[in-house]
Amino acid sequence: MSQSPKTDPRILRLEELLDTHGADLERWPDAERAWARGAAEESAEAAALITRAKRLDAWLDQAPAPTPSPALRRAVAEIPVRHPHASGSAGAWFFAKLWKAIVAGALASALGVAVGVATLDSQAGSDDEGVWSDDEGLIFSADLDREVVP
């Protein structure tokens, strides 16, 4: 006993695929396109579903398709004139990029120097801790006093 078209899983699947991908089988995924063609050859109901989907596409094609007005074409073409790039031209763009690279390099160098100096300072500080003492500070001050006061 054959199934009614309403419950035939092949027909239901074809209907679902037609709703998802449209009537143009050329635009379907390869495997599903081959399957749909096979179904249409074997079943009048399947072929009728494809015809119905094509009728919908043809109907949709009747919708008005506006074309851009000459004024819009002109306005769009003039955008580069009305809104010049900040860089102005390809040459300026290159120099802008070069300038950015130089600034970035200088900043990186400055950061490197700052980090280096900070590291040296902290190392010097930790070295001094081993030899510096309050007494030495006092001795150093006393020596100064001796030189100033004859």
Partner 1 sequence: MTNLHDDAALMLRIGRGDAAAYRSVADQHLEAIMKYAQRLLRSPSEAEDVAQETFLRLWTDAASWTPEARVSAWLHRIAHNLCMDRLRKMREPLTDAVEQAPSADRPGQLFARKQLAEQVDQVLHALPERQRAAITLVHYQGMTNPEAALVLGVGVEAVESLLSRARRTLRRELAGIETQERGSAP
99, two tokens: 């300038």
Q: Taking the complex as a whole, how short is the minimal distance between the CB of residue 61 and partner 1, in angstroms?
A: 8
Closer Cβ to partner 1, 81 or 131, answer by number: 81
Closer Cβ to partner 1, 68 or 116, answer by number: 68
Q: Using the structure block, give the residue that is written with the tokens 């150093």.
A: 140
Closer Cβ to partner 1, 21 or 37, answer by number: 21
CB-count burial class (<10 Å; 0-12, 13-18, 19+) for 2: exposed
Binding footprint of partner 1 on the chain (CB under 8 A): 16, 18-22, 27, 52-53, 55-57, 59-60, 62-69, 71-73, 75-77, 79-81, 83-85, 87-90, 92-94
Q: Taking the complex as a whole, how short is the minimal distance between the CB of residue 80 and partner 1, in angstroms?
A: 4
CA–CA separation, 147 and 143 (whole Å) = 6
Q: Taking the complex as a whole, how short is the minimal distance between the CB of residue 103 and partner 1, in angstroms?
A: 18
CB-count burial class (<10 Å; 0-12, 13-18, 19+) for 57: exposed
Q: Taking the complex as a whole, how short is the minimal distance between the CB of residue 86 and partner 1, in angstroms?
A: 9
| Residue 18: closest CA among 43, 44, 54 | 54
Closer Cβ to partner 1, 26 or 128, answer by number: 26
